[in-house]
Structure 1
């Protein structure tokens, strides 16, 4: 756990489609979700650039149809990713704004701002959203806010976490901790329920199903009566959520428009795509409470109107593959945690997209009819948990009824590839994903060269090119034994703060080299 600091600290849920800020109010003994200037407690993670100013939040989202090429959203789907990633390339086809290849394979968003072409890295854009949340909190509290706990998807890799932290720093925040989103929801659930007289077990097993606008996370945790939250396993997909459901609907409407208008394709019309996105997102939300939803847009393309009616059944059909994947990942998380469905005491659903009736039915059916816990507000639970941890880390938790101790796991496997004579092999996993931290592991290598490069990776793939490079170091002047081999001991040590120390030592000479990697 991160060190404590002094001063006001807030929790920020930095979402793909909406962001939310919260604070623990000692005098009221509860979390307060901070309203923005429009009085709303969630703010669109949307940016708009024009000739005179930068707009962030609702003002940006409201003008997407007028200024689509310079209105940016879904930044969370770019952060920490490479421009060449297939998912980035696929997303680009549906975005009205321009994305190009930047330095070191990073994607760069290109907009017209104050009469000039500007390029922004994803962490710069995320910093603008975080700065907006910081300013919103300062306006509400009437004082400066410097400290924050920021939430990230449980399945974010090291690069995505590092760039999120950098975004916080750019926004003028001291990032106390990057907290996994489903764990944040579990903290909120624990603080709300630990004092419940119906809590009749020393320890409950809770599964948090968190389906948001752009990411899906599932976490298996145990929460003890004493407030110890121990993460057993995490799973998910950093590219699965409400935005994908919108895209399915958009593609359906594009094809319907093409059928009705003899092959006319609107994909090259940013303004039409922007207006269609707004309409499809509204229809998706409406279908959570109605059986049919109309999509009607005047003069969508070249003066041609568009009108159709979407049924809930059709929406479910269009997204069946995505819905099924959520259940597959849920099942995988249970396996990773060595638990069965019957071992889960409570299933907590959070995230805006978890409101979709089909999703809720599928989760209930998976757990053989178990009633889902819907007591937490799906949009605000993650920010609430972050605010509780922020209060702990800033010493502003004196009036908090229930204590919380967090024991986490690593979301992705850690391993090495050994490069000999300039040639590297596959990655060997040293610490598998979902291992509790702190943890350590040693392995012994036999090499037949006097020099070896130790390269550290994060990921689940055998091929190093498909994993995330974390760092590397070399051992030289190795002593070869009678069998023309040198014996090397490699040690991985990961502490509670997510700091990884990798060391390698030649056993015969005790020559040692190491590298420290922060925030795994």
Structure 2
């Protein structure tokens, strides 16, 4: 049994594993460390990763990429509609309003959700990891963007479950980076905190976090983000070249999906060259469109002009982090950068301007996130021995709890977790009720998701006491290891008058048990917002667990089971097709060998 950490990127994935006394990034079946986040369908088999990326130009309609940004969303979501403009695959709305990628598989048209496609990619990563490690792989930690909401996190967990992975934790990407940095620099840290800024600038997102290190632990302080990345630089440059080619060659690349994809591929190569060279560099594409060869050139300063709006948003994100973290420039020890787009020279210049510190490249810019996730998995798994390192993450959005009105009293509302609250964390909320009621958890600020509601919990079997009065219902609201907010339990407390000493004993035992359960439980808030325990005479009583009916994001158990079975069938179908192709190749090899031998005798 082995443990792995997965960096699931919009463009490519990295997998790291704890072995041989350290963390190692695993190579795939093409001896590459990066596995493209691409899934393709060709006749009777699925093609995933490097092979899918290589045949994307020739099989565009049956090749799907960019599905990470669509997890947990509906087809009519404005964000989805924006993303679909850059996805050449066929996408349709399904009966329930979800997203369906239409592909030809097993000689018929089929629809797959972004979660199913993610599960297919995870299956491939699981197989290549098992082959590299030569052992079974089940336990993993998956890194996800800091801005993922409950819906997207649940969708990611559902995809992992379909693929047969046991996720020990969903870890924010900048937190994984901080762990990869701090774990090996532990000897440099003292009791006095050292503040480090981590900038993760990838293909489709910019994430910036502030982290405080002390010996043996890290604590995330604040995070900001913007949904811009390397692809936005590519699109700005592509727009320029498309106009130039239309003027010079009278061809419009935007009208042809294949030509547009080829242009973006060449621009990505040009962009990487411009990061190392400030001179003018050529761009040449043969048989680009209508059998016309096109050529042009560009230099770095010209690209920076074209991408000025993107760079401005990058600068604003940096400044926003300084404001939200409340750190002074003198408080910052260093600024660490990871992600492919952080190599752009103008981005490094902005870092130095805003933070007054040079951009430090202590970490591997491509593999740091997966290595941090693997470290977290090793710390959490009983299968691996590793020294302890404490990780305190944050909840990036404020969260409120709302509950139904009863009688003359209006509906209740309280902010249960402010923005950047420590995670994981539990808090008790006490509400006085006579009968069943609904509790909603919602975001207390604008989030990058159309539905602000996290979920609705119906608390059942609540009844009045013998005198017909309401009784206390204690709700345990929790941010779990995956950054998901939920009500983990509801308890009805039937109170009786008791001596203060007896109540004090019970309170002490409850506090001890909550600490053993791992919840950093604050004292619960009552319905009117006042802290409990204001009465001089304490009360003790019988506690009864109440049933909860939950309505939240994610697949139902039935759908999840069906998708898991469907994935298992597709894995079996792939194996059969691979065996058939191998047998055919072996037969052809035998026939050619025998023919050569017969020719020798003749």
Q: TM-score range by the shorter chain?
A: 0.7 to 0.9
Q: Distance in 1 between matches of 2:190 and 2:457?
A: 50
Q: Distance in 1 between matches of 2:397 and 2:115?
A: 22
- Contact 2:398–2:419 (CA<8 Å) still a contact in 1? yes
Matched, 1:151 2:136: no
For 1:385, the equivalent position in structure 2 comes to 372
For 2:478, the equivalent position in structure 1 comes to 494
Matched, 1:284 2:271: yes
Write the mapping of 1:319-330 to structure 2, written as runs, cut at 5 A: 319-330=307-318
For 1:483, the equivalent position in structure 2 comes to none
The size of the alignment, in residue pairs, is: 493
For 1:94, the equivalent position in structure 2 comes to 86
- Contact 1:74–1:214 (CA<8 Å) still a contact in 2? no
- C-alpha change, 1:45 and 1:377, in structure 2 (3 Å) is same
Of 436, 440, 455, the match for 2:440:
455
Deviations 1:327-367 (CA, angstroms, capped at 9, x unpaired): 32233233333322321112111111111111111111111
Secondary structure of 1:105's counterpart equals coil
For 1:338, the equivalent position in structure 2 comes to 326
For 2:13, the equivalent position in structure 1 comes to 19
Secondary structure of 1:159's counterpart equals helix
Deviations 1:233-268 (CA, angstroms, capped at 9, x unpaired): 12213x321222222222232222223344x43333
Q: Distance in 1 between matches of 2:305 and 2:149?
A: 31
Matched, 1:297 2:281: no
Secondary structure of 1:217's counterpart equals strand
Deviations 1:68-122 (CA, angstroms, capped at 9, x unpaired): 2222111111112332232321222222212222344322212222432221111
- Contact 2:284–2:296 (CA<8 Å) still a contact in 1? yes
C-alpha displacement of 1:377: 0.4
Q: Distance in 1 between matches of 2:207 and 2:70?
A: 18
For 1:33, the equivalent position in structure 2 comes to 25
Q: Distance in 2 between matches of 1:468 and 1:221?
A: 29
C-alpha displacement of 1:153: 0.6
C-alpha displacement of 1:163: 0.9
- C-alpha change, 1:109 and 1:496, in structure 2 (3 Å) is closer
Matched, 1:194 2:186: yes
For 2:393, the equivalent position in structure 1 comes to 408
For 1:269, the equivalent position in structure 2 comes to 256
Q: Distance in 1 between matches of 2:444 and 2:110?
A: 33
For 1:179, the equivalent position in structure 2 comes to 171
Of 99, 103, 115, the match for 1:111:
103
For 2:118, the equivalent position in structure 1 comes to 126
For 2:360, the equivalent position in structure 1 comes to 373
More helix, by proportion: 2
Q: Distance in 2 between matches of 1:200 and 1:507?
A: 43
Q: Distance in 2 between matches of 1:149 and 1:272?
A: 38
- Contact 1:504–1:514 (CA<8 Å) still a contact in 2? no
- Contact 1:46–1:57 (CA<8 Å) still a contact in 2? yes
Matched, 1:253 2:245: no
- C-alpha change, 1:507 and 1:373, in structure 2 (3 Å) is closer
Write the mapping of 1:412-427 to structure 2, written as runs, cut at 5 A: 412-416=397-401
Q: Distance in 2 between matches of 1:257 and 1:151?
A: 40
Q: Distance in 2 between matches of 1:204 and 1:440?
A: 29
Q: Distance in 2 between matches of 1:426 and 1:323?
A: 44
Deviations 1:183-232 (CA, angstroms, capped at 9, x unpaired): 10111101221134xx566421111111111222112111111x211111
Deviations 1:434-473 (CA, angstroms, capped at 9, x unpaired): 111325375989x9xx997543223623999552442243
Q: Which moved more, 1:463-472 or 1:346-355?
A: 463-472
Write the mapping of 1:231-242 to structure 2, written as runs, cut at 5 A: 231-237=220-226, 239-242=227-230
Q: Distance in 2 between matches of 1:463 and 1:487?
A: 38
- Contact 1:417–1:454 (CA<8 Å) still a contact in 2? yes
- Bigger relative contact order (CA 8 A; separation at least 6): 1
Of 207, 211, 217, the match for 1:228:
217
TM-score by length of 1: 0.84
- C-alpha change, 1:48 and 1:519, in structure 2 (3 Å) is closer
Q: Distance in 2 between matches of 1:97 and 1:163?
A: 21
Of 186, 203, 210, the match for 2:193:
203
Q: Which moved more, 1:182-191 or 1:70-79?
A: 70-79
Of 318, 343, 346, the match for 1:358:
346
For 1:213, the equivalent position in structure 2 comes to 203
RMSD: 3.5
- Contact 2:150–2:454 (CA<8 Å) still a contact in 1? no
- Contact 1:188–1:381 (CA<8 Å) still a contact in 2? yes
TM-score by length of 2: 0.73
- C-alpha change, 1:207 and 1:504, in structure 2 (3 Å) is farther
Q: Which moved more, 1:56-65 or 1:434-443?
A: 434-443
- Contact 1:131–1:171 (CA<8 Å) still a contact in 2? yes
- C-alpha change, 1:345 and 1:397, in structure 2 (3 Å) is farther
